[in-house]
């Protein structure tokens, strides 16, 4: 595993991080792993050199069990039981208090992340993750206008002074990387976690120059377009009960996806790549602006092949240019129009 500096935080992150949205039961993904299988995965990730674990207050959260934070709690229990807290960089996220993803246009910081909510969620995450301090806390949605309010910055600074959160980051609304430019230019935020993949290359032009100028670390989430960029979703795929991707890839989207992935597969052989997931992850790691990429992993086979991509080999400039023709900008998230 190779490591990259996370912008001005100077934290060294494994190039492949572990996305854990779907590791436990989640209302958007359906059934997760057994605790034992998850613990085996987390251990294997660490044994292979992984140190970057991405979770969120909201992963696994459901209306009927509002006090439980399954993904964070699973990770906390694992790290505590195995005495490995010092081996990992923990990144988690504060949910919008109104539970609206993305943050609607007229949102304010006060209506989305009021002061007491920030404090309460940090305390919840510390408790769930069984730790005294978090390396990075992200705001789970973002609009640039939030930057104009001041109170939240004071709250964050106080929490940092108390030793509870080392660095603060933001996760701009899906496919809207431009919605954080002013915030990043101001300098308080150290990390941005955003969508960036072969289909969604907008961050290269809108975001990367800004993060470079301000030395902000980038983490690329949903790098496989929710599995679309793995080539394993076909016309015959039937998603399991509760898996939001039955909507994400509904109707005409599925044949369109398969058509596009078939074209991408034509690039594999001539570039010595074994599958589409490898191409998708190598594409992201070919940009030095990105510190780490976090595929969602709940299967050992996927984990091992994803980690193997961190071997220093990047794509040729010629291939990166060819991949520009494969962009497919859209927003299929079912809750996007809520």
Ligand X SMILES: NC(=O)c1ccc[n+]([C@@H]2O[C@H](COP(=O)([O-])OP(=O)(O)OC[C@H]3O[C@@H](n4cnc5c(N)ncnc54)[C@H](OP(=O)(O)O)[C@@H]3O)[C@@H](O)[C@H]2O)c1
The window from 13-21, 34-42, 106-114, 254-262 that contacts ligand X (CB under 6 A) reads 13-21
Per-residue mark of binding to ligand X, 21-50 (x: CB under 6 A): xx----------------------------
Least distance (Å) from ligand X to the CB of residue 277?
A: 4
Can you tell me which of 9, 20, 183, 190 binds ligand X, judged by CB under 6 A? 20
CA distance 149 to 161: 20
Can you tell me which of 87, 212, 213, 299 binds ligand X, judged by CB under 6 A? 299
Q: Which is nearer to ligand X, 94 or 158 (CB)?
A: 94
Can you tell me which of 50, 139, 223, 291 binds ligand X, judged by CB under 6 A? 223
Least distance (Å) from ligand X to the CB of residue 56?
A: 7
Least distance (Å) from ligand X to the CB of residue 207?
A: 14
b/e per residue, 7-22, with b = 16+ CB within 10 A? bebebebbbbbbbbbb
Can you tell me which of 24, 112, 230, 261 binds ligand X, judged by CB under 6 A? 230
CA distance 35 to 219: 27
The window from 77-85, 111-119, 199-207, 224-232 that contacts ligand X (CB under 6 A) reads 224-232
- State the pairing for strand pair 134-139/12-14: unpaired
Least distance (Å) from ligand X to the CB of residue 263?
A: 18
Per-residue mark of binding to ligand X, 123-142 (x: CB under 6 A): -----------------x--
Position 76 contacts ligand X (CB under 6 A)? no
CA distance 334 to 330: 12
Burial class for 47, CB neighbours closer than 10 Å (0-12, 13-18, 19+): exposed
The window from 117-125, 223-231, 266-274, 284-292 that contacts ligand X (CB under 6 A) reads 223-231
248 in Cβ contact with 222 (< 8 Å): no
CA distance 279 to 260: 14
CA distance 93 to 79: 18
- Residue showing tokens 């970057």: 52
Helix 276-285 × helix 253-265 angle, to 10°: 80
C-alpha angle 88-183-103 in degrees, rounded to nearest 5: 85
Can you tell me which of 159, 277, 279, 315 binds ligand X, judged by CB under 6 A? 277
User: Token pair for residue 106?
Assistant: 């007229």
Least distance (Å) from ligand X to the CB of residue 165?
A: 17
Binding residues for ligand X, how many (CB under 6 A)?
Answer: 27
Least distance (Å) from ligand X to the CB of residue 300?
A: 10
- State the pairing for strand pair 12-14/3-5: antiparallel
Least distance (Å) from ligand X to the CB of residue 161?
A: 26
Cis preceding linkage at 335, omega within 30: no
**Interface contacts to ligand X, rule CB under 6 A:** 19-22, 54, 140, 171, 193, 221-227, 230, 232, 277, 294-299, 302, 305-306
């Amino acid at each position: 595993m190779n490591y990259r500096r996370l912008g001005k935080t100077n934290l060294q992150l494994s190039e492949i991080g572990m996305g854990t949205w779907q590791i436990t039961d989640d209302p958007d993904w359906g059934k997760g792993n057994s605790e034992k299988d998850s613990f085996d995965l987390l251990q294997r990730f660490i044994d292979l050199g992984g140190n970057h674990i991405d979770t969120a207050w909201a992963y696994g959260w459901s209306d009927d069990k509002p006090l439980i934070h399954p993904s964070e709690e699973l990770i906390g229990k694992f790290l505590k039981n195995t005495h490995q807290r010092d081996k990992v960089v923990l990144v988690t996220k504060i949910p919008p208090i109104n539970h609206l993803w993305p943050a609607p246009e007229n949102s304010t910081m006060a209506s989305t992340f009021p002061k007491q909510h920030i404090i309460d969620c940090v305390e919840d995450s510390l408790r769930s993750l069984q730790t005294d301090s978090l390396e990075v806390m992200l705001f789970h949605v973002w609009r640039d206008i939030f930057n104009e309010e001041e109170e939240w910055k004071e709250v964050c600074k106080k929490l940092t002074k108390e030793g509870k959160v080392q660095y603060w980051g933001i996760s701009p609304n899906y496919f809207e990387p431009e919605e954080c430019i002013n915030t990043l230019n101001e300098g308080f935020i150290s990390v941005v976690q955003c969508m960036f993949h072969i289909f969604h290359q907008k961050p290269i032009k809108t975001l990367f120059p800004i993060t470079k100028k301000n030395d902000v670390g980038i983490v690329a989430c949903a790098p496989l377009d929710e599995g679309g960029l793995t080539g394993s979703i076909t016309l015959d795929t039937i998603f399991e009960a509760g898996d939001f991707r039955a909507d994400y890839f509904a109707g005409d989207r599925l044949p369109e996806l398969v058509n596009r992935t078939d074209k991408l597969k034509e690039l594999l052989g001539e570039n010595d790549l074994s599958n589409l997931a490898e191409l998708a992850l190598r594409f992201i790691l070919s940009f030095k602006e990105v510190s780490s990429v976090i595929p969602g992993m709940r299967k050992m086979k996927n984990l091992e092949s994803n980690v193997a991509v961190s071997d220093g080999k990047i794509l040729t400039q010629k291939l990166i240019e060819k991949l520009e023709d494969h962009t497919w900008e859209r927003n299929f998230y079912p809750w996007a129009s809520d």
